[in-house]
């Protein structure tokens, strides 16, 4: 049986969002241990022109909920980007998981060929659903989760590859 668009998206997003939540918990514990202020860690970036940890989490959340909503042809929920604590960031991740898991698998049927249109400023990008998922949505999502991991690791949070992989 071929892999469905639901199977190729929702479980991946849910799993890695769970990993992201665990990474945030470990970052918070590290900050509570006195190594760095929690606010400094949440505002940390890898380079001056990159987004801070908080924004990486927000964008990962947006990428997951946006991809699933577009593939399922449902409205993308809007979350305010106001999180400033580890608890708030984890709550956002949990809301995203709840939304993604709440979309019926049947809503994804036929989405591999559905045209997905994204607007970015004056630009417009059009994808068939499968190309959108495999060549844009998943790479974008994993970029921001990986960058969140790298920010935490760079700032001394004791993380390893198995933390990113979810302790497989």
pTM of the entire structure? Answer: 0.95
CA neighbours within 13 Å on the CB side: how many for 41?
A: 28
Please report how the helices 86-101 and 53-72 are oriented relative to each other, as an axis angle in degrees rounded to 10. Answer: 10
Give pLDDT < 70 ranges for the chain.
Answer: 1, 168
Q: What count of other Cβ atoms lies within 10 Å of the Cβ of residue 4?
A: 15
Please name the residues in contact with 16: beta carbons below 8 A apart, sequence gap of 6 or more: 141, 142, 145, 166
CB 71 within 8 A of CB 132: yes
Q: What is the pLDDT of residues 105-145, one digit of tens each?
A: 999 999 999 999 998 889 999 999 999 999 999 999 999 99
Count CA atoms closer than 13 A to 61's CA, side-chain side: 25
Domains of the chain by start residue, with CATH: 5-165 (1.20.120.450)
Average pLDDT for the chain: 96
């Amino acid at each position: 049986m071929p892999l469905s668009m639901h199977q190729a998206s929702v479980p991946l997003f849910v799993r890695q969002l769970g990993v992201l939540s665990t990474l945030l918990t470990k970052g918070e514990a590290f900050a509570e241990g006195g190594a760095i202020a929690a606010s400094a860690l949440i505002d940390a970036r890898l380079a001056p022109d990159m987004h801070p940890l908080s924004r990486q989490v927000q964008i990962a959340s947006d990428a997951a909920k946006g991809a699933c909503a577009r593939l399922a042809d449902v409205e993308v929920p809007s979350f305010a980007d106001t999180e400033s604590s580890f608890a708030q960031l984890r709550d956002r991740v949990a809301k995203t998981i709840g939304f993604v898991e709440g979309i019926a698998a049947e809503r994804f049927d036929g989405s591999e060929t559905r045209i997905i249109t994204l607007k970015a400023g004056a630009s417009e990008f059009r994808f068939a659903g499968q190309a959108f998922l495999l060549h844009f949505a998943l790479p974008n999502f994993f970029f921001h989760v990986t960058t969140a991991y790298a920010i935490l690791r760079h700032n001394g949070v004791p993380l390893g590859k198995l933390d990113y992989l979810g302790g497989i």
